[in-house]
Amino acid sequence: MQVPYNLTNRLLQQLLTLALSLLIRLITPNDLDGDNNITEQICQSNPVEIEIKELAKLDAVKLSQGDLDSNFVEPPNIAQATAGGTIDYKASITNLGNVALKNLVIVDVFPTVGDSYVAISGSRGSQWAPSLVSTVTAPGGATVYYSSASNPCRPEVDNSPPGCSAPGWSTTPPSPISDVTAVKFDFGNTVIQPSDTFEIIWPMNITATVNPGEVAINSFGYKVIRNDNNQPLSTAEVIAATVEIEQPVTNKPNVLLVKRITAVNGSTNTNGGDDLSSYINQQDDFNTGGNPYDDNDITVPAPINPGEPQLDTDKWLDPNTFLIGGLDGGLVAPGDEIEYTIYFISAGNNTANSVLLCDRLPNDVTFITNAFNSTPTPDPSGLPGYDRGIVLSLESRDVSLTNAGDDDAGQFFPAGVEPTTKYPQVSCGGSNTNGAVVVVLGNLPHATAPGAPSNSYGFIRFRARVK
């Protein structure tokens, strides 16, 4: 019974022959597999057809830029602006498909208290209403329409929310133009080819009566059809762009610090270090270890974005006589005594409230608890009989503070005791591994001139012994 066997093998042979007939064997001088053999055969297939399916897709994004932003902000990030400031809005449109589109219409309803989305249902939650500054310029082929209706109906994007009113679209804006509540961009028969992209930007003003933390939320709905078969794409709405009101930098408190070594073993002379009786003006570049805040030259502008360097000042008392001390204490040995001084100034345009100053000791020194037991005069708010290791200079008056948690302004926290256990809001820049000095400076009015007022600046001082 050999027939099944022969039949099977003949069939396999025919299939193998058919498969090999689809391949052309070539010898290539290129060592494609990296084995140094250039006589190997490679296989080349017959042409293969690949079908590319049609894709009709329009991408739309709403961006915003407040007067505190350096660039346009894309959701879900939030733009920052000030009361009385400005916003720039941008509508960005791109044909991401491979099908031409036409009859694009965009409806943008401006933020207002109690507003709702444009093409979908639901509240946007705006807390204030910006106002249009000037007429809007659209790309060629598009017509701009304006509405002053309080809640315009928008059948163009298949949505007419309850209580909406006729939009009364007009190519002529109302007077004043700040009455505009919505805009519509109608591209008509303009064909948007694959990869075509365009932007529409318009400015808006913010009323001066809005409060920090309040937001305006803006979005637009859009609808478009295919150019080849006139079939509409689904009506859509962009992710809403949020602008939040921030307290302007000009009204913010701004406390600046300068730290110096002011004595080694009670002397301003050092072993190979700085002259501690002089003023040292560091170079200004942060990137190379500089400090722009130790003089009265303003080299750091007001920050625009969170995290940027603080605004500089020109209100220090004469730095040549006030900001005394060095950066290099020279060679020291175990048992040597180092005096640290931290100068501070309230340099903003508003009072700095509830100021807490925390300084952690370097790991190679030990806090001297009784450094100021004899002088200067004790602060009467401190407990009598307690060691005094901290000095506070404020309002042209120097007092010594106890290290205890009493009613004076200073306290020393031993290693392992976090200052946040008493002052939850204090920031010491890390864990308390070797002791920390905390001084309550309270409310510091902003400096209006060098040395004025006298309670806008001062210093704290303590001493430590080299281990």
pLDDT at 24 over 70: no
**Whole-number Å distance between alpha carbons of 52 and 54:** 7
Query: In the prediction, which pLDDT does 308 show?
Result: 74
**Whole-number Å distance between alpha carbons of 409 and 391:** 10
Residue appearing with tokens 């701009």: 144
- Model pLDDT for residues 158-204, shown as the tens digit of each residue: 998 999 999 999 999 999 999 999 999 999 999 999 999 999 999 99
For the residues of 47-63, what is the DSSP string, one character each? P---PPPP---EEEEEE
Residue 32, both tokens = 């494609």
**Whole-number Å distance between alpha carbons of 97 and 195:** 7
Identify the weakest region by mean pLDDT among 4-8, 51-55, 123-127. 4-8
Q: Where are the domains of the chain?
A: 58-247, 250-466
Residue appearing with tokens 């017509």: 143
Please, which pLDDT band fits residue 273 given cuts at 50, 70 and 90?
Answer: very high
Bridge partners of 388, per DSSP, are 402
In total, the chain counts a number of residues equal to 467
Work out the average pLDDT over 200-219: 95
pLDDT at 11 over 50: no
For the chain, the straight-line distance linking the first and the last C-alpha, in angstroms and rounded, comes to 100
**Whole-number Å distance between alpha carbons of 462 and 439:** 11
Q: Where are the beta strands (DSSP E) in 72-159?
A: 79-81, 86-95, 101-109, 131-132, 143-147
pLDDT at 330 over 70: yes
Residue 5, both tokens = 């066997």
Of all residues in the chain, the percent with pLDDT exceeding 90 is: 78
Query: In the prediction, which pLDDT does 1 show?
Result: 28
pTM value is 0.55
Query: In the prediction, which pLDDT does 22 show?
Result: 44
Alpha helices in 338-442 (DSSP H): none
DSSP 445: P
User: How many Cβ atoms sit within 10 Å of the Cβ of residue 239?
Assistant: 12
Please, which pLDDT band fits residue 247 given cuts at 50, 70 and 90?
Answer: confident
Report the sign of the C-alpha dihedral through residues 244, 248, 253, 256, in that order.
Answer: positive
- What is the residue type of 67? D
- What is the residue type of 444? L
Domain 58-247: which topology?
Answer: Immunoglobulin-like (2.60.40)
